[in-house]
Chains A and B, each alone.
Chain A
Amino acid sequence: MTFLQATILVFVGAGGTCVVATRDPLRQAMVASLFGILLGILFFVLQAPDVALSEIVVGAVALPLMILLSLAKIRGGDR
């Protein structure tokens, strides 16, 4: 295993811990987006470009977007 792979794996583990440790959903959405990018880099380093492309587009853009939209509805309320 190369040094790059080991570093990215440790970052992914720490990133997952940070996502769970952030209790406020608004901040957690941003941390989840960063976690998605870290996962994309890990998949790229593990020689999986298709999966990396998929994870970056979905985990860093689409999923935090839907979380933010749900939050906007919940916090904006039914004014």
Chain B
Amino acid sequence: MNLLPFGVALWLFVVGLYGIVTSRNLLHQIISLSVVQASTYVLLLAVGYRTGGAAPVFADIPTSRATVDPIVQALTLTDVVVGATVSALLLAVAVQIHKRTGTLDPENLRRRPES
């Protein structure tokens, strides 16, 4: 059972990558990319977890209590917001591609000459 969190992170990474490689729709690719990003969050938090540790907020617990690692939480926290914004940038590019070429299929984008 020790391998379950790391296994889930690995599985999310592989599944998201499979979605990106075999996708026929640009929007589907972008959402699969967010699944790949989620796998890194799960891995980071699993590495920093301590059994029996409390959340790293000392507002109501004594400072001598053992907590989980706060560093990886700080990394993941900013990454969640920024990752969603970069996905928004990709969505804007997809909207423009549809406006210019009329298709969202990555297969057809290569063969269509620039209109």
Contact = CB atoms under 8 A, between A and B. Distances in A.
Touch between chains A and B, by CB atoms below 8 Å: yes
A79 B9 CA distance: 43
Is chain B's interface secondary structure helix, strand, loop, or mixed overall? Answer: helix
Interface residues of A, number: 39
Contacts of B94: 70, 74
Chain B contact-residue range equals: 35 or more
Given A1-B4, A43-B45, A70 B91 contact: yes
Interface string B72-115: 01001100110010011001101100110000100000000000
Q: Is the interface of A mostly helix, strand, loop or mixed?
A: helix
Interface of B: 1-2, 4-5, 8, 11-12, 15-16, 18-19, 24-25, 27-28, 30-32, 34-35, 38-39, 41-42, 45-46, 49, 51, 53-57, 67-68, 73, 76-77, 80-81, 84, 87-88, 91-92, 94-95, 98-99, 104
